[in-house]
Structure 1
């Protein structure tokens, strides 16, 4: 971490707050006096803790009802497999964008898209993009590739031991596939890569996960393979770990960006100048010029990919449909590209290398999230690829809307109208 001298001095003075460094250091030291009891979690203990906390903080009855009213208390057992130490249910606004026409390999039709967010102007922006795409006959979308990795790591005494292990492991893919198959009927081990660093070996197992997002699936399968390796390897590892941080799980990484983590998906549309003017109040040329400027801006800032705000739409859709919201960190990378055609129309496309979505498992079966998936006709088996294509279409809509607003100079006005000036 670095900082300029003058700004660093200002921060130091703010941290000290007029006190000496010794006084501040003493405040930051461990405090072992009157340690609170942190009990083991259980439903009964958690409920007692919550009630005691409400009393201690003076939480009023209305706020208590908001967290856990009668209906929520009855529903809470439904969430047992999705959360621990539960004290209530959180409510947040749910908006609707679309319908968005998707002409995809798996998703074909008009989709009403639920978005959960607390950010004003977000749903309106995506809805505007949906209106434009649908007026043009929809966008084309397709899943290009699927793969989810789990990357165990093994430590050996020496690099020659590591090499002997790699030679053995590279001949055992079929054995590893059989072991993985004993843990899941939906996931399949399809490939394996290897990375060696000194006496460390990283095995990158690539799976397909059916209609589940699949993180837990590949973890359980990966652990079973690790157990098999420890029992059968001619060279015993000193230690091993089921995940080495090589897979890129829940973080933006160059590896995931240049390959695939989840579902690689693309969407495109050809939009006439008349439709762009009608719905976005700008021109294809103005949007292309802004895109060119923002692409260079992204390069200069070191962003992973080139796009306007993939995370906005993905987070809102993930929350609404029971996806793992933390996966937005890896899913919201990719490329947006706008070009003016020889006829003066706008070609617009997005490509995302790692959409992490499922239509079964995880949070997709919870009451609200299941209802949102059903609203789109995308709950249950056989729907995950279609959901990924809808994601790409939604993000294309969002890119069109935000770049349209920025190129027309309407971006701040829209936020002022929908957020700051509302009553």
Structure 2
């Protein structure tokens, strides 16, 4: 995170044109005087409590009405378990992409995909890719693995204590499973791994979480295991934390990339050359040439995985369908591969090892988000794996469309036309 000296010098010179260093120092100094009223924390709220929050803000009635409209007021009870200090809702435009034909282990059929975004050209691009896939008979999609992990950390005085602790831990997995699964109807402890760094021990617990994304579920289950360890371990840790940042939660990590976090899914399709030319205005050879150069560009820039823009489609779908949008940091990681077939067609595949998705729990029960899941036919129990396969298929559609646009030279023109970019 270094900065070149000439950039720092130029930046300092531009600042000193307006104020002296002493004036900037005074401006940056801490000052706890005359603080405004605190936001009053509320988890269950009424119109009266919401109005009290608005009294803190010096805004126009029109501004308040844009966030707290009549529909939001009528759905007030829906938000109790999803947010604190509630003041209203933000509306995002939702567009429809598709149809997208998916031939998966769990997702079978034609899907119209609701995407919530403020980025012009995004829905059009994904819709173009989805229609191309459907016209070719649909893509194949497969959930390969699943698991959500939580990684508590324990500190000991020295390595001998670490050894005693680990010798005890390896024989406690049945008890850990009992403790964890007593906290949930759906979560199951499947695996445990151990990592040692000096006098620190990390235990990596991996769970399946049913149809929920499951982060809260595995946290509560892991806390139960930690309590058991504090009560019964032959040597007590000096201190411990329920999550010691080894899980990869809400961040891209090599560990998750080579294993799984959430659901690992792959999707593929083989496209005839004529269809690629007709719908993407590029040849399969141009597409593969672009993919090859962009793959090397990804290596040179040090990205985890090689892909074009997974985050675009996933973020829009996550917003629409009530997923934890922060999980895009880990979900939008994977590998795209394009190859020429023996007949001159295009083989395309995507693999995503970290899809954190669910069809129950979290934001999936909110009115608008549940409506979007219902559009997909994927609301409720028994649908999470199908939803994950639809996510991967959507990503494949987006990769085909954007690489087609870049390979054919249409990328900039499309954004100028649809986003009305300023010249």
TM-score band, normalised by the shorter chain? over 0.9
SS in 2 for 1:49: helix
Tell me whether 116-125 or 413-422 shows the greater mean CA deviation. Answer: 413-422
**TM-score normalised by the chain length of structure 2:** 0.97
1:35 aligned partner: 35
1:49 aligned partner: 53
Deviation for aligned residue 1:167:
1.1
1:152 aligned partner: 152
1:414 aligned partner: 414
Cα distance in 2 between the residues matched to 1:39 and 1:374: 36
Cα distance in 1 between the residues matched to 2:198 and 2:379: 46
1:124 aligned partner: 124
Cα distance in 1 between the residues matched to 2:38 and 2:14: 33
Deviation for aligned residue 1:62:
3.2
Cα distance in 2 between the residues matched to 1:166 and 1:16: 58
Cα distance in 1 between the residues matched to 2:196 and 2:231: 21
* Alignment deviations for residues 169-211 of structure 1 (CA, whole Å, 9 cap, x no partner): 1111111001111000101000000010111100000000000
Cα distance in 2 between the residues matched to 1:132 and 1:82: 38
* Alignment deviations for residues 90-134 of structure 1 (CA, whole Å, 9 cap, x no partner): 111000001100000000000111000000000000000001000
* Alignment deviations for residues 3-54 of structure 1 (CA, whole Å, 9 cap, x no partner): 222112112223444322222111111012211121431234542131341x
SS in 2 for 1:88: coil
Cα distance in 1 between the residues matched to 2:165 and 2:337: 44
2:93 aligned partner: 93
**TM-score normalised by the chain length of structure 1:** 0.97
2:289 aligned partner: 289
2:181 aligned partner: 181
Cα distance in 2 between the residues matched to 1:232 and 1:346: 59
1:203 aligned partner: 203
1:142 aligned partner: 142
Tell me whether 37-46 or 236-245 shows the greater mean CA deviation. Answer: 37-46
Deviation for aligned residue 1:269:
0.1
* Alignment deviations for residues 379-399 of structure 1 (CA, whole Å, 9 cap, x no partner): 111100000000000000000
Deviation for aligned residue 1:64:
2.3
* Alignment deviations for residues 305-330 of structure 1 (CA, whole Å, 9 cap, x no partner): 10000000000000000000000000
Deviation for aligned residue 1:157:
1.0
Cα distance in 2 between the residues matched to 1:345 and 1:268: 13
Cα distance in 2 between the residues matched to 1:324 and 1:99: 25
Paired residues for 1:339-418 under 5 Å = 339-418=339-418
* Alignment deviations for residues 341-362 of structure 1 (CA, whole Å, 9 cap, x no partner): 1100000000000000000000
Instruction: Please identify runs of 4+ aligned residues in structure 1 that moved more than 4 A.
Output: none
Indicate conservation of the 8 Å contact 2:39/2:53, yes or no. no
1:194 aligned partner: 194
Paired residues for 1:52-91 under 5 Å = 52-53=56-57, 56-57=58-59, 59=60, 61-91=61-91
* Alignment deviations for residues 127-179 of structure 1 (CA, whole Å, 9 cap, x no partner): 00001000000000000000110000001111110111011111111110011
Cα distance in 2 between the residues matched to 1:248 and 1:71: 38
Indicate conservation of the 8 Å contact 1:291/1:403, yes or no. yes
Q: Which structure 2 segments of 5+ residues have no match? A: none
Deviation for aligned residue 1:280:
0.3
SS in 1 for 2:72: helix
Deviation for aligned residue 1:252:
0.6
Cα distance in 2 between the residues matched to 1:421 and 1:261: 38
Indicate conservation of the 8 Å contact 1:314/1:332, yes or no. yes
* Alignment deviations for residues 207-266 of structure 1 (CA, whole Å, 9 cap, x no partner): 000000000000000000000000000001111000001000001111111110000000
SS in 2 for 1:222: helix
SS in 2 for 1:364: helix
The number of residue pairs the alignment matches comes to 418
Indicate conservation of the 8 Å contact 2:40/2:85, yes or no. no
Cα distance in 2 between the residues matched to 1:130 and 1:7: 45
Deviation for aligned residue 1:2:
1.0
Cα distance in 2 between the residues matched to 1:17 and 1:359: 55
